[in-house]
Chains A and B, each alone.
Chain A
Amino acid sequence: QKEVEQNSGPLSVPEGAIASLNCTYSDRGSQSFFWYRQYSGKSPELIMFIYSNGDKEDGRFTAQLNKASQYVSLLIRDSQPSDSATYLCAVRNTGFQKLVFGTGTRLLVSP
């Protein structure tokens, strides 16, 4: 089992819809969770981080964390074509104090 798993996609949504990106992790002791956006040929860009169970909202983005079920999700409301990118989930590994990345989900938002 991979430490951090994401569906590779692509996830296709129409402009204006809600995009839902999911991530599961295996380290039950993980305490911090990050979402990065990566455009093709560019570097990962931090979108949000979340530490506590529940929801955290920032503009059109909402991160949701459920530690009991070991999953974290990212919702993008009012999706725009400019949101088309690969979204990377990263989880801090409690044993080695490092971030473990998923392989990413490719999101395509069609006009």
Chain B
Amino acid sequence: NAGVTQTPKFQVLKTGQSMTLQCAQDMNHNSMYWYRQDPGMGLRLIYYSASEGTTDKGEVPNGYNVSRLNKREFSLRLESAAPSQTSVYFCASSVGQGLYEQYFGPGTRLTVT
């Protein structure tokens, strides 16, 4: 099992460009999450999908959109990148919400110039 995979690993964008971060899991998990991690700020939830067909905003959703393509895949889109979106992005999944632990992908390091 690969667990949670993310592409790309690194990306540099210019301000105003768009891109989609891809995430897939092979653990048959129902819930998936997108976080960003910035120095001194910890992990902050951007969007999550409790189950296939549903998505909800997290703590910092502005400037992002998501798509739960199917049970395995959950993508994060930046429509018009801004320097404030320079960060490390992690995708995670869990069996469900509630008590269940989350497992993280390897991350995407994004720089917006």
Contacts and interface: CB of A to CB of B under 8 A. Distances in A.
Given A88-B43, A104-B42, A46 B98 contact: no
B106 A42 contact: yes
Contacts of B103: 46
A15 to B, nearest CB: 28
Contact of B105 (A43, A88, A92): A43
Contacts of B42: 88, 101-104
Given A42-B106, A43-B106, A44-B104, A103 B98 contact: no
Interface in B4-39: none
A34 interface: yes
Contacts of B45: 98-99
A92 to B, nearest CB: 7
Interface size of A as a range: 20 to 34
Contacts of A32: 98-99
Nearest to A99: B102
B58 interface: yes
A49 interface: yes
B48 A98 contact: yes
26 contacts: A31-B99, A32-B98, A32-B99, A34-B101, A42-B106, A42-B107, A43-B90, A43-B104, A43-B105, A45-B104, A46-B101, A46-B102, A46-B103, A51-B99, A88-B42, A92-B99, A97-B50, A97-B97, A98-B45, A98-B48, A98-B58, A99-B45, A101-B42, A102-B42, A103-B40, A103-B42
